């Protein structure tokens, strides 16, 4: 009987970085001043590291000029642009805590995040997609119309003093970005250097609100040490060098963009490329081709959209070598296409959560194909992983399914102003409980089988939706498929499969897919219901919202009474 415990410690010969983000950025900018640092396609911006450093220092001095100090919270509510990166690095230099606000948030959610974090200042875009940020702020804060910039006194948000708008228009009560940055002249460079020198790498520097499926979002509070090292080790695994050029189409407000993207590049002197404000597959392909990118990030649905783009063949992607696919497991057929058609032979899978900065497990460039499509790799350097019985908390033998836990430098400091939730997530021994069901094999590779709350129990049988999804992906007509459980009077739960067909494919019936499953997977794993869709309910970061799929399916199938 195999009694090897489901525990691994990631071994690394490279030590952790014991620096603040600002100090590390200055070191890299001094070492590679002429390297391309940032290319923002939609803003026609192209800055070297020396130019980026000048812009960051100017913004940092401006923050000092308006009264921002170490530990103050500064919110940012914006899609991807150069000012996002400048705000990220400038606040890190003065020791302010950046509060990332989801660009999809509406007024109520914005108010919650700014209130809960007690933010003093907010950097915000004007509009994005269907959101008019300025209008929402004016509705929430009618006092803006009669306020001087920086002198806001609002009933709804008493802590909030000022708003920095990224709009070209001058709005009442707000600074325009250029006018804000001009305030840098009031602060001598020596004062910025002094403020930066006082910071410690364990200081909190970032609050990211996790999108819970129930209750209010919780503010994962991350330090310089958390995210600087995670960005470094994620891209160290990719073999990133100062010659690499990374296209970042994932949102900066999320760890994938601002940590694995921005900080991953910054720690190696590599180039950050933003193809657009939000994800658009054509813009991504164009950026890769025109900028001769060597690396590309995305969640599987993004890679699927790029591969399915009608003009895909027109773009030369031969410069690509590596990248990361995260957010959910990669279907084997998609991985094959990304390897062959996008030239990304060394693409890696990364797994993690906002509370762990985010990555704790990652595949390697030389991992066998089956490990890259069935597992999320092995434990990252300087981190530990274990799989425990969700009931007893005891470590399980290898191969058994239980809850994945992570420990090490990447675990967040706390949930902001929420001791109870912090205690519920991080145990007395420092382990972060992920809520994910997983198993670990003999070699230490971890397979995620679903969320504890996503597991479907049909007639006493445990069903992991991902296993059924993986099988259905092998059908030649299916582009993407997501499965969740719905209530059933006889069996307790049944499966519903949401199916997205490949472009130009003839419609197929639910009965055809049921026949496809027969004899191939156990009868109780065959979905009872099929729903053909063009898209799935998703978060801004591209994660499928299965709880919404479940709600919609229950309503459409009339299962509310069950």
Q: Could you give the CA distance from residue 238 to residue 226 in angstroms, rounded to a whole number? A: 19
Question: Which residues are within 8 A (CB) of 350 and not within 5 positions of it... i.e. 6 or more apart?
Answer: 234, 260, 324, 325, 326, 359, 361, 362, 363, 376, 377
Per-residue confidence (pLDDT) for residue 460, from 0 to 100:
75
Per-residue confidence (pLDDT) for residue 106, from 0 to 100:
86
Per-residue confidence (pLDDT) for residue 331, from 0 to 100:
83
Q: Could you give the CA distance from residue 462 to residue 470 in angstroms, rounded to a whole number? A: 16
Per-residue confidence (pLDDT) for residue 213, from 0 to 100:
46
Q: Could you give the CA distance from residue 138 to residue 173 in angstroms, rounded to a whole number? A: 10
pLDDT at 2 over 60: no
Average pLDDT score over residue span 195-216? 86
Closest CA to 379 of 299, 446, 326: 446
| CATH code reported for the domain at 456-557 | 3.30.300.30
Average pLDDT score over residue span 65-79? 98
Q: Could you give the CA distance from residue 525 to residue 463 in angstroms, rounded to a whole number? A: 7
pLDDT at 562 over 50: no
Question: Which residues are within 8 A (CB) of 444 and not within 5 positions of it... i.e. 6 or more apart?
Answer: 8, 378, 379
Q: What is the 3-state secondary structure (H, E, C) of 414-449?
A: EECCCHHHHHHHECCCCCEEEEEEEEECCCCCEEEE
215: exposed, middle or buried (Cβ count in 10 Å: 0-12, 13-18, 19+): exposed
Task: List, for residues 360-381, the tens digit of each pLDDT value.
Answer: 999 999 999 999 999 999 999 9
pLDDT at 320 over 80: yes
Task: List, for residues 77-114, the tens digit of each pLDDT value.
Answer: 999 999 999 999 999 999 999 999 999 888 888 999 99
Query: Residue 164, SS3?
Result: strand
Task: List, for residues 142-179, the tens digit of each pLDDT value.
Answer: 999 999 999 999 999 999 999 999 999 999 999 999 99
Average pLDDT score over residue span 181-210? 97
Q: Could you give the CA distance from residue 72 to residue 69 in angstroms, rounded to a whole number? A: 6
What phi and psi values does residue 532 have, to the nearest 5 degrees? -90, 125
What phi and psi values does residue 90 have, to the nearest 5 degrees? -70, -40
Range 305-309 contact pairs with CB under 8 angstroms and sequence separation of 24 or more: 305/279, 305/281, 306/281, 306/342, 307/334, 307/337, 307/338, 307/341, 307/342, 308/281, 308/479, 308/502, 308/503, 309/281, 309/282, 309/285
158-167, 442-451, 540-549: range with lowest mean pLDDT = 540-549
427: exposed, middle or buried (Cβ count in 10 Å: 0-12, 13-18, 19+): middle
Per-residue confidence (pLDDT) for residue 215, from 0 to 100:
61
Question: Residue 544 forms beta bridges with which residues?
Answer: 538
Task: List, for residues 232-274, the tens digit of each pLDDT value.
Answer: 999 999 999 999 999 999 999 999 999 999 999 999 999 999 9
208-212, 222-226, 407-411, 502-506: range with lowest mean pLDDT = 208-212
Q: Could you give the CA distance from residue 320 to residue 544 in angstroms, rounded to a whole number? A: 27
Q: Classify residue 146 by its DSSP letter.
A: G
Average pLDDT score over residue span 516-536? 92
15-19, 134-138, 468-472: range with lowest mean pLDDT = 468-472
The answer to whether the bond into 358 is cis (omega within 30° of 0) is yes
Average per-residue pLDDT for the chain:
94
Q: What is the pTM of this model?
A: 0.87
40-49, 194-203, 428-437, 544-553: range with lowest mean pLDDT = 544-553
pLDDT at 543 over 80: no
179-188, 398-407, 449-458: range with lowest mean pLDDT = 449-458
Buried b (16+ CB within 10 A) or exposed e, 285-320: bbbbbebebbbbbbbbbbbbbbbbbeeeeebebeeb
Per-residue confidence (pLDDT) for residue 500, from 0 to 100:
95
Average pLDDT score over residue span 442-471? 86
| CATH code reported for the domain at 21-28+48-210 | 3.40.50.12780
Share of the chain above pLDDT 70, in %: 98
For the chain, the C-alpha Rg in angstroms (whole number) is 24
262, 85 Cβ separation under 8 angstroms = yes
Per-residue confidence (pLDDT) for residue 193, from 0 to 100:
98
Domain residue extents for the chain: 21-28+48-210, 456-557
Assign 425 a pLDDT band (cuts: 50, 70, 90): very high
């Amino acid at each position: 009987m195999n009694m090897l415990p489901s525990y691994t410690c990631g071994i690394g010969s490279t030590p952790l970085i014991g620096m603040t983000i600002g100090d590390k950025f200055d070191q890299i900018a001094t070492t590679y001043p002429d390297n391309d640092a940032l290319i923002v396609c939609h803003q026609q911006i192209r800055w070297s590291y020396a130019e980026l450093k000048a812009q960051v220092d100017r913004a940092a001095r401006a923050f000092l000029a308006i009264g921002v100090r170490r530990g103050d919270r500064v919110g940012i509510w914006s899609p991807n642009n150069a000012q996002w990166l400048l705000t990220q690095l400038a606040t890190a230099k003065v020791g302010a805590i950046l509060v990332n606000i989801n660009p999809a948030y509406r007024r109520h959610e914005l108010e919650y995040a700014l209130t809960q974090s007690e933010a003093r200042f907010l950097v915000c875009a004007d509009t994005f997609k269907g959101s008019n940020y300025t209008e929402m702020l004016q509705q929430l804060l009618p006092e803006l119309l009669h306020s001087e910039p920086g002198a806001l006194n609002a009933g709804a948000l008493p802590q909030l003093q000022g708003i920095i708008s990224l709009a070209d228009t001058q709005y009442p009560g707000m600074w325009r970005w250029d006018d804000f940055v001009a305030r840098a002249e009031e602060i001598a460079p020596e004062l910025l250097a002094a403020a930066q020198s006082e910071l410690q790498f364990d200081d909190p520097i970032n609050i990211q609100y996790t999108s819970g499926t129930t209750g209010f979002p919780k503010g994962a509070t991350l330090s310089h040490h958390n995210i600087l090292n995670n960005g470094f080790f994620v891209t160290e695994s990719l073999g990133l060098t100062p010659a690499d050029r990374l296209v970042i189409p994932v949102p900066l407000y999320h760890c994938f963009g601002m940590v694995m993207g921005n900080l991953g590049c910054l720690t190696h002197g590599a180039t950050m490329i933003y193809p657009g404000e939000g994800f658009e597959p054509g813009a991504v392909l164009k950026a890769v081709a025109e900028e001769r990118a060597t690396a590309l990030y995305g969640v599987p649905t993004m890679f699927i959209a790029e591969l399915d783009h009608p003009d895909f063949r027109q773009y030369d992607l031969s410069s690509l070598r590596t990248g990361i696919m995260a957010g959910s497991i990669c279907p084997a057929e998609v991985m094959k296409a990304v390897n062959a058609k996008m030239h990304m032979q060394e693409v890696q899978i990364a797994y993690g959560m906002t509370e762990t900065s985010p990555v704790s497990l990652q595949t390697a460039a030389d991992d066998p194909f089956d490990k890259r499509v069935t597992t999320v790799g092995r434990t990252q350097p300087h981190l530990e992983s274990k799989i425990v019985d969700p009931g007893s908390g005891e470590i399980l033998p290898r191969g058994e399914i239980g809850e994945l836990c992570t420990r090490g430098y990447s675990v967040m400091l706390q949930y902001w102003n929420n001791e109870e939730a912090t205690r519920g997530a991080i145990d007395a021994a420092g382990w972060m409980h992920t809520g994910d069901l997983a198993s670990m094999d003999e070699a230490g590779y971890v397979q995620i089988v679903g969320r504890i709350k996503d597991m479907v129990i049909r007639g006493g049988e445990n069903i992991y939706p991902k296993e059924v999804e993986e099988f259905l992906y092998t059908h030649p007509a299916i582009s993407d498929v997501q499965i969740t459980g719905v209530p059933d009077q006889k069996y307790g739960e049944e499966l519903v499969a949401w199916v997205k067909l490949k472009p130009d494919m003839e419609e197929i019936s639910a009965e055809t897919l049921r026949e496809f499953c027969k004899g191939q997977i156990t009868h109780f794993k065959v979905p009872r219901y099929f729903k053909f869709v063009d898209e799935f309910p998703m978060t801004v970061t591209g994660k499928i919202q299965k709880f919404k799929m479940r709600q919609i399916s229950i309503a459409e199938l009339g299962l509310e009474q069950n």
